[in-house]
């Protein structure tokens, strides 16, 4: 049975992850009529995240989701040599489920309508509106809006329906919650090389008595790498498995006549780390301003919405483009080349440079500085094997 709503809302946001809820919050604060649709019965579940974010994110969102913080990282090379990076700024470890609920709470508090258990199944653009069909409690509901926002993650239905494309580079991640307490609670461990990842990296992130241990792979084999990595932490401690896919390349076009794509749906994710919470929220901030202006001017079309792409690219474009190139080079490095890189990076002056310039959200600064200081790194990256 179909239920039709005659009214046309300003915006329907598909997906209540951080990007979608932040979009709802921003638009509602500007006085718009927003509906957020979330397919799951509970916001924040299932968790598919390590929960590492910069303090910038914690300033954007009113949340108490922090469970720990780290200031350092130990990078373990294939030959088992390691270097330690230590920063003055904190990187926050948070409970992602709690965080997503807090962002959703901000959207509702600002006035967004919110509907869980609402799985969007089709999106159609018309001349003067967009129609969105979703399944809720066994019924099909159809609602209309001036604009639809695809904030529905890696397998975005909005993207499938209106763009017919997907990000070209996708990391499959396999992660567990392990009942393993890391000795150093102020440092993450990062594992490089073919023993522990397929063209990406492995990680262990401390959060008190729990550790998130995971690995990423550009081939569909993350579990195999994880099993090798997990030998470092002891078996029979796994409390839950929570992997997922991470897009690490953005789409060429992130707007249409009556839609925009934000966050993972658009592949707006940091390619070197796979972190997408900060970039997703930034894309939503950019998108909300553009949508609001287009609606207020009565000119929702691909020309007005194209300003969204200009806006997010001016905030993040250069960074994601550069990091994408470095990630491609990085993904083809052999273990031998990683160990050669170790010899350069472990020099005190280089480690000091990384400590000083490293920024989890904008890593290009430190990568460029290190290459300028030790140009042989570029030769290693380009030689790959």
Asked if residue 228 lies in contact with residue 215, where contact means CB atoms within 8 angstroms, the answer is no
Among residue numbers 241 through 260, which ones bind ligand FAD (CB under 6 A)? 243-244, 246
Residues from 288 through 307 that contact ligand FAD (CB under 6 A) = none
Contacts with ligand FAD, 217-236, as mask; x by CB under 6 A: --------------------
73 touches 80 (CB < 8 A): no
**H-type helices in the chain, by residue range?**
18-29, 55-60, 96-110, 157-162, 222-230, 277-296, 302-312, 318-331, 335-345, 348-357, 364-373, 376-383
Q: Are strands 113-115 and 34-37 parallel, antiparallel or unpaired?
A: parallel
Q: Compute the least distance from the CB of residue 243 to ligand FAD, in Å.
A: 5
Select 52 or 60, whichever has its Cβ closest to ligand FAD.
52
Give the three-class secondary structure for 91: strand
* Residue 226 to residue 224: CA distance in whole angstroms: 5
Dihedral of the CA atoms 240, 241, 242, 246 (nearest 10)? 160
Interaction with ligand FAD in 298-357: which residues (CB under 6 A)?
Answer: none
Nearest to 16 by CA among 51, 48, 53, 43: 43
Residue nearer to ligand FAD on the CB measure, 18 or 78: 18
Helix (H, G, I), strand (E, B) or coil at 144: strand
CA–CA distance, 19 with 16 (Å, rounded to integer): 7
Tell me whether residue 229 or residue 269 sits nearer to ligand FAD (CB atom). Answer: 269
Under DSSP, is residue 228 helix (H, G, I), strand (E, B) or coil? helix
User: Which of 11, 13, 16, 132: binder of ligand FAD (CB under 6 A)?
Assistant: 16
Segment near ligand FAD (CB under 6 A), from 14-22, 182-190, 194-202, 373-381? 14-22
Q: Using the rule CB under 6 A, is 189 a contact of ligand FAD?
A: no
- Please identify which residue in the block is written with the tokens 């990568």: 367
Contact status: 39 vs ligand FAD (CB under 6 A): yes
Minimum distance of ligand FAD from residue 19's CB (angstroms): 3
Selected binder of ligand FAD within 13, 27, 277, 370 (CB under 6 A):
277
Rounded CA gap, 143 and 5, in Å? 5
Counting contacts by CB under 6 A, is residue 202 touching ligand FAD? Answer: no
Q: Which of residues 10, 152, 189, 319 is near ligand FAD by CB under 6 A?
A: 152
Mask for 100-139, x = binds ligand FAD (CB under 6 A): -------------------xx-------------------
The region of 34-42, 178-186, 309-317, 334-342 touching ligand FAD under the rule CB under 6 A is 34-42
Among 24, 51, 267, 271, binds ligand FAD (CB under 6 A): 51
Is 150 an interacting residue with respect to ligand FAD (CB under 6 A)? no
How far is the CA of 1 from the CAs of 14, 35, 143, 233, in angstroms? 22, 21, 14, 53
Q: Could you give the string, one character per residue 159-178, with x where binding to ligand FAD holds by CB under 6 A and - elsewhere?
A: --------------x-x---
Contact 239, 247 (CB under 8 A): no
Query: In the set 147, 269, 288, 367, which binds ligand FAD (CB under 6 A)?
Result: 269
Residue pair 18/275 in contact (Cβ under 8 Å)? The answer is: no
**Tokens 């594992």 map to which residue?**
191
- CA–CA separation, 158 and 251 (whole Å): 13
Stretch that binds ligand FAD, among 16-24, 186-194, 293-301, 310-318 (CB under 6 A): 16-24
- Interacting residues toward ligand FAD by CB under 6 A: 14-20, 37-40, 48-53, 119-120, 151-153, 157, 173, 175, 214, 243-244, 246, 263-264, 269, 274-278, 280
């Amino acid at each position: 049975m179909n239920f039709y709503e005659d009214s046309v809302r300003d915006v329907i946001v598909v997906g209540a992850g951080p990007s979608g809820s932040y979009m709802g919050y921003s638009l509602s604060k500007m006085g718009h009529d927003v509906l957020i649709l979330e397919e799951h019965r509970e916001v924040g579940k299932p968790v598919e995240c390590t929960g590492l974010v910069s303090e910038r994110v914690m300033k954007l969102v009113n949340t108490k989701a922090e469970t720990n913080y780290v200031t350092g990282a130990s990078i373990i090379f294939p030959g088992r040599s390691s270097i330690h990076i230590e920063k003055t700024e904190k990187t926050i470890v948070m409970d992602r489920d709690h965080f997503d609920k807090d962002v959703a709470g901000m959207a509702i508090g600002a006035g967004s309508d919110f509907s869980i258990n609402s799985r969007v199944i089709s999106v159609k653009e018309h001349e003067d509106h967009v129609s969105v069909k979703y399944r809720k409690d066994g019924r099909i509901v159809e609602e209309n809006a001036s604009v639809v926002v695809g904030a529905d993650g890696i397998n975005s239905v909005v993207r499938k329906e209106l763009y017919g494309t997907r990000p070209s580079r996708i990391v499959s991640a396999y992660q567990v919650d392990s009942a393993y307490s890391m000795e150093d609670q102020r440092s993450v461990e990062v594992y490089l090389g073919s023993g522990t990842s397929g063209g990406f990296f492995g990680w262990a992130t401390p959060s008190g008595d729990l550790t998130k241990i995971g690995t990423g792979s550009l081939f569909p084999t993350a579990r195999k790498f994880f099993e090798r990595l997990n030998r470092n932490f002891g078996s029979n401690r796994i409390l839950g498995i929570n992997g997922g896919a991470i897009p690490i390349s953005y789409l060429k076009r992130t707007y249409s006549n009556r839609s925009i794509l934000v966050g993972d749906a658009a592949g707006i994710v940091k390619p070197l780390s796979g972190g997408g919470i900060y970039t997703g929220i930034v894309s939503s901030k950019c998108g909300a301003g553009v949508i609001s202006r287009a609606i207020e001017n009565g000119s929702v079309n691909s020309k007005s919405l194209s300003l969204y792409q200009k806006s997010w690219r001016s905030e993040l474009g250069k960074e994601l483009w550069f990091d994408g190139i470095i990630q491609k080079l990085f993904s083809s490095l052999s273990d031998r080349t990683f160990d050669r890189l170790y010899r350069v990076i472990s020099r005190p002056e280089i480690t000091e440079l990384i400590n000083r310039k490293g920024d989890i959200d904008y890593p290009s600064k430190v990568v460029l500085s290190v290459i300028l200081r030790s140009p042989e790194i570029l030769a290693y990256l380009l030689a790959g094997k």
